[in-house]
Structure 1
Amino acid sequence: MSKKNRRAGGTALAENGAQESSPENPRRPCPCGSGRRYKACHGSADAADLIVTRPFAGLAAETELIALREFLPAASAPLTLIEPRADIPSVTVASVLPGAAAALTRSDRSILLGMQVQTHTGDLSRDLAAALEWALAAEPSSVLSVIGRATVGNRYGDLIVDEPLDVTVYDDFSWWLEEEIVPGSEVALSLERANAAIMPTARVADLPGAYWVDAGERAHLRWVRPEDEPPLMAALARLHVADQLDLGSGSRYVGSFRAHGRLVPVWDLDRDAHPSEWDEPARAFADRLAAALAVDEPLTDAERRARDGILGRQFTLR
């Protein structure tokens, strides 16, 4: 990328929220939120391939957007445009769309945005905004298969109202369809194949980011947490030492994974129990965790050992 193009990119980034607007200062913090200097991040030649660790940092919907992106099979949530359009009846974000499309418009110009897409850049927030901007200008019944490689432009919070998401989880993908399908048709066969891949999933106690899933041999609770990792790990260690880390009979804490800058604790659950049976245990755990997070004292030796053991039960998605 030439110096001229880099300066043009720097100006565009500044117009979309740079902390320091001068395109002549490559040492300023990159406005994408990565923590890097601009010259080493979106001002570099390979900017399209850089990873923004927390693409949805600071958003009320962060945990739900991560769940939609990483592990929810069939789910959606309505979005609210900052600048509503009379000709756009609705905007909906979904876990996955037909063909893993980035976006599509329906016959009435309502918009569906996909989180689990065929290709993406290193900034999922900008990808989502780019897909939305395409859909706002697209004709009815259009499909955007893949995202481009833009390194500047709007991000999710520039176009969508910052509010919690009301996620609906579906048993199948029939919600994709605008009209009834003909039995035996190619559409019907494609839908059948997609439905066969769905693992039964349910929200738990309407707690943000908390989802039960039947993975076959066992069931799990996966819970995207909003807290930063160090205080969350300390709180989990305190609960472990107090023998309060599980969700009661038939449950076992097994570890956690990282996704887009947040930690996702995982529990094994009794597969024979109905998902709703974990609502009250999950709420009780949320109360215990809140109390542990509020403790402002150094960890004891036992708690430090517990924290180290919990850290050893992690794997990294990103």
Structure 2
Amino acid sequence: MAKKRPQTKAGKQQLKDGEIPVVGAREPCPCGSGRRYKACHGRAAAQAVTELVHRPFEGLAGECDWVALRELVPAATVELTLKGGLPEGVPSVTLATVLPMAWPALRRDDGSVLLALQNDTSSGDLSRDLADTLQRALEVEPGTPVTARRVPADGPRLQDLLDPDAAFEPVVRTGFEFWVPDAENATPEVAASLERANAAAIPTVLLSGADAAYWCETPEKNHLRWVMPHPEEQLLDALARLHAAGTSSLGEDTRLVGSFRAHGLV
């Protein structure tokens, strides 16, 4: 019986991992393996996109305030400084807690950009999601909102786009009137969204005596919400010692009610 001749590899040279483009999940993988993309290199790409980054704002100026604006503060803005300066036709880039209709970003009629921080994101790296949204907002036509999408795993992060030496100075707002330059001429949809957002906003004040400390006036009790940069275990140990000594309160009729972790900080 004649032996079968060994199968030869396809004439097409297989690509290296870093050179393989993204295609549809059911399409043949561009690497030349003959398998579908989702069962070949698409599997690693999907894992890279969903892998959780525990401290997405690490390395940015004002990391604690980034976390506070993402999780605690209802209405605030921050002027952002880009590496290399602003592109032509973009007078300013402003970070905002939320935008009308939950838009991820908005390019205003005058070319300025608003970037929302509290939106849902598609990957495990919030910094990469925000950077992708920011880049698209800088490129769309003025007067255009930016919608959400799945970001590429090798895209830039905020740390690649923002000037690390620029000050990060939040301005806490009493409402969301900053959404529109002229609220009286807003569309009915934007006006309704503005009214709902203002009604739900908890009055909040940024304290000047400590970094990333916010005083929140809730209907029943007022709260001091304070994001700290210290290592978690050391911070919790220190709080436990203060509590055991009876000195964890801020004075009469106050008490420490607890803590939680958000984006790698407590």
- Does the 8 Å contact 1:101/1:118 carry over to 2? no
Aligned ranges 1:73-88 → 2 under 5 Å: 73-85=74-86, 86-88=88-90
Give the unaligned 5+ runs of structure 1.
11-41, 264-318
**For residue 131 of structure 1, what is the aligned residue in structure 2?**
133
Distance 1:184 1:140 in 2: 17
User: Residue by residue, what CA displacement relative to the aligned partner does 1:230-258 show, whole Å, maximum 9, x if unpaired?
Assistant: 12122223322343211112311011000
- Does the 8 Å contact 1:130/1:147 carry over to 2? no
Aligned ranges 1:224-263 → 2 under 5 Å: 224-263=227-266
Give the alignment's Cα RMSD to 1 decimal: 2.4
CA gap 1:9/1:62 in 2 versus in 1, 3 angstroms: farther
Matched, 1:52 2:63: no
CA gap 1:203/1:210 in 2 versus in 1, 3 angstroms: same
User: Residue by residue, what CA displacement relative to the aligned partner does 1:249-306 show, whole Å, maximum 9, x if unpaired?
Assistant: 231101100001111xxxxxxxxxxxxxxxxxxxxxxxxxxxxxxxxxxxxxxxxxxx
Distance 1:144 1:116 in 2: 14
Out of 113, 116, 119, which is 2:118 matched to?
A: 116
Matched, 1:216 2:219: yes
**For residue 154 of structure 1, what is the aligned residue in structure 2?**
156
Q: Tell me which structure has the larger Cα radius of gyration.
A: 2
**For residue 33 of structure 1, what is the aligned residue in structure 2?**
none
Greater RCO between the two (CA within 8 Å, min separation 6)? 2
CA gap 1:187/1:125 in 2 versus in 1, 3 angstroms: closer
Aligned ranges 1:62-211 → 2 under 5 Å: 62-85=63-86, 86-162=88-164, 163-182=166-185, 185-205=188-208, 207-211=210-214
Give the unaligned 5+ runs of structure 2.
1-13, 22-42
- Does the 8 Å contact 2:101/2:190 carry over to 1? no
| TM-score (structure 1 length as normaliser) | 0.67
CA drift of 1:201 comes to 1.1
CA gap 1:70/1:147 in 2 versus in 1, 3 angstroms: farther
Counterpart of 2:58, as a letter, is A
Identity %: 44
Question: Is the helix fraction higher in 1 or 2?
Answer: 1
Q: Per the alignment, in what secondary structure is the counterpart of residue 99 of structure 1?
A: helix
Distance 1:123 1:254 in 2: 30
Matched, 1:7 2:18: yes
What is the number of residues matched between the two proteins?
A: 230
| TM-score (structure 2 length as normaliser) | 0.79
CA gap 1:156/1:244 in 2 versus in 1, 3 angstroms: same
User: Residue by residue, what CA displacement relative to the aligned partner does 1:45-90 show, whole Å, maximum 9, x if unpaired?
Assistant: 4222221111112322211111111121111111101111242211
Q: Per the alignment, in what secondary structure is the counterpart of residue 61 of structure 2?
A: coil
